[in-house]
Chains A and B, each alone.
Chain A
Amino acid sequence: MKAEINIALREFHSSIRSKRFVVTLASYLFMIFFFTYSIRDELIQRAGQAEVAYTSLPLTGVDGNMVITPLSLLTTSNLSTILIFGSILGITLGADSINREIEEGTIKVLLSHPLYRDHLITGKFLGNALSLGLMISVGFVFSIAYLLLLGIPIDEASLIRSLIAAFVTLVYTTIFLSIGLAFSSILKRSEVSTLVAIVFVILLILVYPLVSPTLASKLVGEKPYCPSEYNENKKYDNKIDSCIAMKEWEKKRLLWERKLLTLTPTYHYGSLITYVFSGDELTQDYIPLEESLSFGIASLLIFLTELILPLALAYIRFATMDLK
């Protein structure tokens, strides 16, 4: 493990000094500050209170009953920021980490020393994950500090759950890191792999959730016809209720939309965050952690598979390639 740690520390050292990291961190903190400041009054209002509310997490396609405390509100409000910045930083950190070393020739020097190729990938993954961890920690500490500055007390349950959410966020960003590493091992030129990686993130995070409802509609088939007498003087919801075929179609469409969204790590990330903060409407309190997290096992497994698969691809590709 010593070789991997040495590589990880060097990688961490290099990545946190890179312009890419500094710019992403600065933009991320600015966005967090902006969002936090915009909900400042709501945070003050909710000080010392806990309420269970049906919440929809932006960009994830996930919703559910969640406990709203100032800290959980802050965490979920910052979610879309981390979704974009975390995934972009994660994928770009990985996207040029192997091919750039091949381009510069440092890989030949490095691998002439006593280490295996998989040590290099593991080290790079760990080092960059450490950088992502730093970014998430800074954001987390910033959120806590902001609440304390506003004089808002932080309850223990929300703090623990926010820490778990921060860990889930780290795993989420490392999925993109491993996808980036896979790109870096497949594509020869570092500029190309970085560009492809950024386009991939934009498509996956922003475009795919937007087109998936349309795609789901196409997959379900033609929208059924509802007789006009049913619709007269009725609201849209009632119209669906009154037309069984339409109701069935909508149900199928939602199912397809969900199926399509389950392909993305974002959906599972949203699900896990919902489970972490899930609340009981009756008690108006958090559902016990073991119980709420048990609902998210499937998401966690898919999440981990999405992390391991690209990493395995990077390992296999890198282990069998000639380093000219």
Chain B
Amino acid sequence: MYAIEIENLTKKYGEFIAVDNLTLNIEKGIIFGFLGPNGAGKTTTILSMLGLIIPDNGKIQIMGYDVLKSPIKAKNLLGYLPENATLYEELTAWRNLEFFASFYRIPNREKEKRIEELLKLVGLWKVRYKRVKTFSKGMKQRLLLAQALVNDPDVLILDEPTSGLDPEGAHLVKSIVKEEAKKGKTVFFSSHVLSEVEELSDKVGIIVRGRLRAIGPLNRIKKQFMELEGYEIKIETKQRMPELNVDGVIRVERIDERKAIIFTKEDIRAQISDYLTSKGITIVSLKIEEPSLEDVFLKTVYKREGRG
């Protein structure tokens, strides 16, 4: 059983297809980064996972529970941090968490202990009796994260979790996400910050115009990308580098007489090495230049949008 199972999810707004036949399975205990440009369908997918948007077609299960047929069972197991939202501004931080905790069967003493732990975790313990309307955007975002954790969920869904946070706040959120994953929780998060996705994710999905364009562990996605887009092999030799007459080389970009980047269709490092050795050239380094997630993301998005 997967932690999150999305099967053939489709959502249309009039003629516009926000999510187009999306199928996605997220294993338990991993951090899944959901990437896509604005309007790609990330938030629609997330809101469908919570039953806040009623899909035109498809099925979503959280820990085996259908979100539309058994919403209470599914919601009991998840925590959600929305993008651009706030909590009840007229209530204090403590009262907000107490209110949200009241929807779960948690004994009072345990509930209070949990709220105390969470407020300390997000650094809002000292301002627990202050009304949320007096909080900064970052403080509100941290309190939102605390409410998402109030039921100690098995699945954590975070929509742009570090949006509006200062570097310290962002670091705190990332460390909490990592900590939750260590405890065996599944984290599904969307983000625009590619470095954040790269840093946190065990698995990544890229959605463009409602369709899933790439999915898998980051290494695999990068490999697939290289297979599709070609390899960049960085080379440095001890002596002056001769012309590379090796099969599979598309082009060579020389940096200086000893350094170059070789663009190939496949990984032909062995052939290059053999060729240069036969010419009496000593290789200092020969490595594949891995594309960054940004390269993968931009190429995937713009290629599909016909802009690159």
Contacts and interface: CB of A to CB of B under 8 A. Distances in A.
Interface of A: 2-3, 6, 10, 13-14, 17, 104-116, 320, 322-324
Contacts of B78: 112
B21 interface: no
A108 B104 contact: no
B93 to A, nearest CB: 14
A105 B75 contact: no
Nearest to B43: A324
B91 A10 contact: yes
A186 B265 CA distance: 57
Main secondary structure of the interface of A (DSSP, over half): helix
B129 interface: no
B104 A105 contact: no
A324 B53 contact: yes
Interface stretch (B81-89, B166-174, B196-204, B271-279): B81-89
Given A104-B86, A106-B86, A106-B87, A111 B52 contact: yes
Contacts of B87: 106, 109
Contact of A14 (B84, B88, B104): B88
A115 B82 contact: no
B50 A322 contact: no
A116 B85 contact: no
B302 interface: no
Interface in B43-69: 43-44, 47, 50-54
27 contacts: A6-B99, A6-B102, A10-B91, A13-B90, A104-B85, A105-B82, A105-B85, A105-B86, A106-B87, A108-B50, A108-B52, A109-B80, A109-B82, A109-B87, A110-B100, A111-B50, A111-B52, A112-B78, A114-B71, A114-B76, A114-B103, A320-B54, A322-B52, A323-B52, A324-B43, A324-B44, A324-B53
B45 to A, nearest CB: 12
A10 B80 contact: no
B208 interface: no
B218 interface: no
A112 B86 contact: no
A111 B73 CA distance: 13
Interface in B139-186: 144, 147-148, 151, 157
B82 A113 contact: no
Interface string B121-145: 0000000000000000000000010
B51 A111 contact: yes
B72 interface: yes
A116 B70 CA distance: 10
7 tightest Cβ-Cβ pairs between the two chains A and B: A105-B85, A112-B80, A323-B52, A114-B75, A113-B103, A108-B82, A114-B72
B9 to A, nearest CB: 14
